[in-house]
Amino acid sequence: MAYNLLKGKRGIITGALDENSIAWKVAQKCHEEGATFTLTNAPIAMRMGEINKLAEETGAKIIPADATNMEEVTKLYTESMDVLGGKIDFVLHSIGMSVNIRKNIPYTELNYDFYQKGIDVSALSFHKLLAAAHKLDALNEHASVVALSYIAAQRTYPFYTDMADIKAMLESIARTFGYHYGKQKKVRINTISQSPTKTTAGGGIKGFSDFYTFADLQSPLGNASADDCALYCVSLFSDLTRMVTMQNLYHDGGYSSTGISTELIEKISGE
Ligand SMILES: NC(=O)c1ccc[n+]([C@@H]2O[C@H](COP(=O)([O-])OP(=O)(O)OC[C@H]3O[C@@H](n4cnc5c(N)ncnc54)[C@H](O)[C@@H]3O)[C@@H](O)[C@H]2O)c1
């Protein structure tokens, strides 16, 4: 059911790679809720052309941009404002990549070039998205910027290796930039800490499938799906959450507040 929550709002959505991507679902829900937006991804990620289907479905223009490249990010805003006809009301940062995870390198033996690449792509890109908008004064008052995070920023998940550190940085950028941008322009900046979700980035993690089941059994409501995450993003982009900023918001079916569930105890004890 749609509520027209984003009617008249203009946005930029990063990170829709294929129909499993969280950003893909966010784009669909924002469209349903009446928003207009541009879609962007790294030029290399567009080779498969999947994003064209989403652009057609949602009436969005695609503006390729490598999120690590300040010039391309700046152009993303100027072109978006041009295409959409004014300043931007919401931005989704849905970008993550770790070469160390892809190559199964343990945390104690991280490759530092890969580590730096991971920081650049998955955390500094968020700062760049915010800094470019700030410099251009591209965001309307009370605009909402959301990035996607994971609870490994607070608790240790050995398989998440360098991304744990990188997500901690991402969440810190949301708080710190959120302070400055909030003071100056009332722009709000939050991170959503999402359940494990079956996507290309998620599936790249060793043992993901078992861990997905573990988290599902641990959470009273079960794992939050990508569709549910999209609804949460819509609420944060809407005027209903005008005063929410600088927060890391758990969207995980209650996982983060649960010590252990009876289902997991039964599994371990074999009852
Ligand atoms: N899947 C999960 O279990 C899970 C859980 C919590 C948080 N997240 C986060 O959600 C976000 C989206 O991931 P997803 O699970 O939808 O996977 P996904 O693989 O569909 O999305 C990741 C996106 O990042 C893009 N990207 C990579 N390098 C880029 C660059 N240089 N410039 C621009 N874009 C670039 C990719 O092309 C891709 O579209 C990530 O930040 C991820 O860490 C995922």
- Judged on CB neighbours under 10 Å (0-12, 13-18, 19+), 109 is exposed
For helices 112-119 and 161-185, angle between their N-to-C axes, nearest 10 degrees:
30
Cβ–ligand 1 distance for 238 under 6 Å, the answer: no
- Going by alpha carbons, the residue nearest to atom 20 of ligand 1 is 21
Going from the Cα of 175 to the center of ligand 1, the distance in angstroms, rounded, reads 20
**What's CA 199's distance to the chain center, in Å?**
12
Going from the Cα of 147 to the center of ligand 1, the distance in angstroms, rounded, reads 10
- Judged on CB neighbours under 10 Å (0-12, 13-18, 19+), 239 is exposed
Q: What integer pLDDT is reported at residue 207 of this predicted model?
A: 81
Q: Of all atoms in ligand 1, which is nearest to the CA of residue 196?
A: 3
How far apart (Å, rounded) are the C-alpha atoms in residues 144 and 192?
Answer: 12
Closest-CA residue to 178 (of 261, 94, 249, 81)? 249
CB 18 within 8 A of CB 200: yes
Element (H, E) at 143: strand 139-149
Domain residue spans of the chain = 10-208+223-257
For the domain made up of 10-208+223-257, give the CATH fold.
Rossmann fold (3.40.50)
Task: Read off the pTM.
Answer: 0.98
Mean pLDDT of 142-168: 97
Cβ–ligand 1 distance for 152 under 6 Å, the answer: no
Q: How confident is the model at residue 134 (pLDDT cuts 50, 70, 90)?
A: very high
Q: What integer pLDDT is reported at residue 231 of this predicted model?
A: 98
CB 160 within 8 A of CB 117: no
Cβ–ligand 1 distance for 22 under 6 Å, the answer: yes
Q: What integer pLDDT is reported at residue 34 of this predicted model?
A: 98
Closest-CA residue to 59 (of 17, 95, 28, 94)? 28
∠ at Cα 68 (225, 208), nearest 5°? Answer: 30
Least confident of 23-37, 206-220, 235-249: 206-220
Going from the Cα of 217 to the center of ligand 1, the distance in angstroms, rounded, reads 24
Cβ–ligand 1 distance for 256 under 6 Å, the answer: no
- Going by alpha carbons, the residue nearest to atom 38 of ligand 1 is 15
**Residue to probe by mutation, ligand 1, list 12, 14, 17, most atoms within 8 Å of CB:** 17
Q: What integer pLDDT is reported at residue 254 of this predicted model?
A: 98
Cβ–ligand 1 distance for 17 under 6 Å, the answer: yes
Q: How confident is the model at residue 204 (pLDDT cuts 50, 70, 90)?
A: confident
Q: Of all atoms in ligand 1, which is nearest to the CA of residue 226?
A: 16
78-119 tens-digit pLDDT: 999 999 999 999 999 999 999 999 999 999 999 999 999 999
Tokens of 102: 């892809």
Cβ–ligand 1 distance for 133 under 6 Å, the answer: no
If you search the block for the tokens 């160390």, which residue do you land on? 100
How far apart (Å, rounded) are the C-alpha atoms in residues 63 and 77?
Answer: 9
Going from the Cα of 96 to the center of ligand 1, the distance in angstroms, rounded, reads 4
